Amino acid sequence: MVANEASNPLDRVADLDLATADLAQRQESLLREYERNQKLLDASAEQARDTAGTGVAEDGAVSITVDANQRVTRVSLDPRALRLGSIARLERAILAACQAAEDDVARRLGRTVGDPVQQFFDSMPELVQLLAAEAYQPFLDPDAEPRKPTGRTRPVEPSIYEWGGHP
């Protein structure tokens, strides 16, 4: 009787040893990647904490500074602000300067830490390959027009359960 090579217990042990070694290498690789990403995240968080934005209105009569959390950290009113002619105009100038400061800090943060959603998808190309573009595109560009699905979809079956009804 000829012995089947696949049934040899020593072969199975060798296969398990190889698989275990491969898993150990993968674990080490993932730990190194995690440590590298953690360092990048810490550096980005530190840069973000130090990021501020400034907005001005009425030719510099009103200046507002906000931090990375869009909290107002400084308000500067030039003497020209008192000559704007009305409280309503001063209010509009303050709001315009606040919006400009928020836009400025958002722009600066985008340059400093980048887009976290884009970075997530960039770090996982296998996920992007598995997902249809319709699934992840809204996260990358929420202002874009929704695209029509390209694949066939199954019609939704009407539910036998209605509000207040019984099966």
Query: Which pLDDT does position 132 carry in this prediction?
Result: 64
> How does pLDDT run across 55-110, given as a tens digit for each residue?
999 999 999 999 988 899 999 999 999 899 999 999 999 999 999 999 999 888 87
Q: Report which of residues 146 and 50 the model is more confident about.
A: 50
pTM for this structure?
0.51
Q: How far apart are CA 94 and CA 75, in angstroms?
A: 9
Domain that holds residue 80: 49-112
Give the Cβ contact number of residue 103 at 10 Å.
13
> How does pLDDT run across 113-148, given as a tens digit for each residue?
566 666 666 776 776 677 766 666 665 665 666 555
Query: Which pLDDT does position 138 carry in this prediction?
Result: 61
Is residue 3 one of the residues assigned to a domain?
A: no
The CATH number of residue 64's host domain is 3.30.1310.10
Same domain, 65 and 37: no
Gyration radius of the chain's alpha carbons: 29
Judge contact between 83 and 96, C-beta under 8 A: no
State yes or no: pLDDT of 153 exceeds 50: no
3-state secondary structure of 26: helix
Read off the tokens for 69: 């959390």
Q: How far apart are CA 1 and CA 52, in angstroms?
A: 80
